[in-house]
Structure 1
Amino acid sequence: MFRPLIMSCAVLFASTPSTLFAEIYSGPNDTSHAIDGGIAADDERFVGWADVIDSTRTMFGPRGSTSINQTGGFNSLGDLDATEIAAGVSPGYLTVQFATGISNGAGHDFAVFENGFLFGKNAAGTPGLFAEFAYVDVSTNGTDFARFPSVSLNTGPLPGGFGNNFSPFDVTNVYNLAGKHAAGFGTPFDLDDLSTDPLVSGGLLDLNNIQYVRLFDIPGDGSFTDSRGNPIIDNWMTSGSGGFDFRLGEGLGVGVLNITAVPEPGGLVMLGLAGCVLSLRRTRRRTGVTRTRGKK
């Protein structure tokens, strides 16, 4: 089957049937893929990192962490069992903030890290991944969040696992979900994917001033879907640290590739003084007020 290597996101999400695009995305440790290659934690392109977990915008689900770890330890979002899913219990979620915002620059703008590990292979020989996925949402004001469109075309795990709660998954079928790359490799996200979101056109989301990134756990039994209605399958239920796992810190959590330009405090003062001088000059020109040396 022909598998195009490069295509626009608009084509990816508009085309049918979905099986046409199976296995075209990056593998769990592929850094050179044209669409969504992972980014190593020590990549020099990172210019900043999430520096705090927002406790007011974080809620761990059942079997998740009981308190927030801000010092590099794991924060597990938790997992839901079938009864909880049927009852409409909310999955766990976690929101991070930044010293400066994320901007919509050229290419990918930030990357999210998880602790999945290589396990098994698909038919093409690409490594599988012990995967725990999460949706990725962003916000400017901390109230209105837009969710990245996603693709998940797996109908089950790869062979060689031990049931749906400990098996490898083929992440070449997965796009724009956090957790699709192995530990040490961040999953990249491009804010251009949200350019047509209603929050952007409504003025509630500024893609050049993203201050919050929210990770929303996906219980992987298929009850939760991608942007096209496909069921999302991952390791479910997971024991121990249930659900998506997140660690805050440089080389871990969320790395920034394009940062919102914020002038230094001294720069702000100089900009203000320059504005005052320019305003004064314009006023004098309008009123005809001038000063001539040697005359009274």
Structure 2
Amino acid sequence: MLRPLFLSTFLAVLLLGHPASAGIYSGPTDTTNTVDGAIASNDPRFVEWANVIDETRTMFGPRGSTTVNQTGGFNSLGDLNATEIASGDSPGYLTVLFPTGIGNGSGADFAVFENGFRFGTNADGVSGLFAEFAYVDVSTNGSDFARFPSTALNDGALPGGFGTSFSGFDVTNVHNLAGKHAAGFGTPFDLDDLSTDPLVTGGLLDLDNIQYVRLFDIPGNGSFLDSNDNPIYDNWLTTGSGGFDFRLGEGIGIGVLNATAVPEPSSLALFAIAGSALMLRRRRKSAGAA
């Protein structure tokens, strides 16, 4: 039998070896957090959804899918194993296009969905998440991509799981990584977070005209880092549909909250009428001159 003093010390060490308290960010289904509250898939603020996967700007990892699914099925980016990471293999990434594009409006401009599920609880009783994270990059021209600054403050999985391949992770310590919310809830991204990025200040990225969003898988063994060089942990190593999972479709892919500004239909109609009238005047003038 463990003596009481030893038992209490053992429990303290156990708890300190894992994220012991909730962070400031939202949980898997928390829609009320003022920093990065989840957005439900049926939220009426969505104005359009990503509708094409750009196969010329997409690469699956060695353990991922081999073909792009444009019809609503899952595209799994592939979770690199330790040997592949040590060899410098690139994680999988996937790039999507939009009917019009994403503009920089007030608050979150788009949200990314994944199929994670709640598992375990953190020290504050908030649900953990079976998580597969991805970096989020955006581009105007398809060549120059800026990456959202991210935060990941966990040092491992929550207690009570089965290793790191099947455990819950405390996503209240995670910000600006796709996949931090449960299925049916999108992770919001605000383009204002990129306002000081060198690509923006250098004129290569127009935050009012985002045409491409790239999801770049993160193998979650700690080899990949957040913006402050903290190791990122998620469920690793996953097999089968390993790595970040994405599928096109309304309510399941990437939803746009602020679309690129385009002329209103009424304005387009006025332009068309004015153009027709101008052409008619020119024809009459030409006929009179003849």
- TM-score of the superposition, structure 2-length normalised? 0.85
Aligned-partner Cα distance in 2 for 1:202–1:212? 18
SS in 2 for 1:154: coil
Aligned-partner Cα distance in 1 for 2:275–2:151? 48
Residue equivalent to 1:89: 89
Overall identity of the aligned pairs, in %: 77
Residue equivalent to 1:261: 261
Residue equivalent to 2:39: 39
Contact 1:118 1:130 in 2 (8 A): yes
Residue equivalent to 2:212: 212
Residue equivalent to 1:106: 106
Aligned-partner Cα distance in 2 for 1:87–1:118? 33
The answer on 1:65 being equivalent to 2:69 is no
**Displacement after TM superposition at 1:271 (Å):** 4.0
Contact 1:130 1:169 in 2 (8 A): yes
Aligned-partner Cα distance in 1 for 2:207–2:73? 30
State how 1:53-202 maps to structure 2 within 5 Å.
53-202=53-202
CA deviation digits over 1:80-134, x for unaligned, max 9? 1111111110000000000011000000000000000000100000000000000
Aligned-partner Cα distance in 1 for 2:36–2:241? 27
The answer on 1:222 being equivalent to 2:222 is yes
Contact 1:136 1:216 in 2 (8 A): yes
Aligned-partner Cα distance in 1 for 2:239–2:180? 19
Matched letter for residue 29 of structure 1: T
**Displacement after TM superposition at 1:174 (Å):** 0.0
Matched letter for residue 110 of structure 1: F
SS in 1 for 2:101: strand
Residues 40 and 147 from structure 1, CA distance in 2 versus in 1: closer, same or farther, beyond 3 angstroms?
same
The unaligned stretches of length 5 or more in structure 2 are 1-18, 279-290
Contact 1:94 1:214 in 2 (8 A): yes
Contact 2:122 2:170 in 1 (8 A): yes
SS in 1 for 2:172: helix
**Displacement after TM superposition at 1:276 (Å):** 12
**Displacement after TM superposition at 1:262 (Å):** 1.6
Residues 265 and 47 from structure 1, CA distance in 2 versus in 1: closer, same or farther, beyond 3 angstroms?
closer
Contact 1:22 1:153 in 2 (8 A): no
Contact 1:149 1:176 in 2 (8 A): yes
Contact 2:200 2:207 in 1 (8 A): yes
Matched letter for residue 227 of structure 2: S
Aligned-partner Cα distance in 2 for 1:53–1:123? 39
State how 1:224-239 maps to structure 2 within 5 Å.
224-239=224-239
Contact 1:52 1:98 in 2 (8 A): yes
**Displacement after TM superposition at 1:270 (Å):** 4.1
Residues 106 and 264 from structure 1, CA distance in 2 versus in 1: closer, same or farther, beyond 3 angstroms?
closer
Aligned-partner Cα distance in 1 for 2:261–2:195? 20
- TM-score of the superposition, structure 1-length normalised? 0.84
Contact 2:22 2:126 in 1 (8 A): no
Matched letter for residue 87 of structure 2: A
Contact 2:95 2:215 in 1 (8 A): yes
CA deviation digits over 1:64-93, x for unaligned, max 9? 111111111000000111111111100000
Residues 203 and 163 from structure 1, CA distance in 2 versus in 1: closer, same or farther, beyond 3 angstroms?
same
CA deviation digits over 1:241-269, x for unaligned, max 9? 00000010000110000011222688457
SS in 1 for 2:83: helix
The unaligned stretches of length 5 or more in structure 1 are 1-18, 279-296
Aligned-partner Cα distance in 2 for 1:86–1:252? 33
SS in 2 for 1:56: helix
Aligned alpha-carbon RMSD (Å): 2.1
State how 1:272-291 maps to structure 2 within 5 Å.
none
Aligned-partner Cα distance in 1 for 2:100–2:241? 30
Contact 2:49 2:255 in 1 (8 A): yes
Contact 1:165 1:236 in 2 (8 A): yes
Aligned-partner Cα distance in 1 for 2:276–2:75? 49
Matched letter for residue 40 of structure 2: A
SS in 2 for 1:199: helix
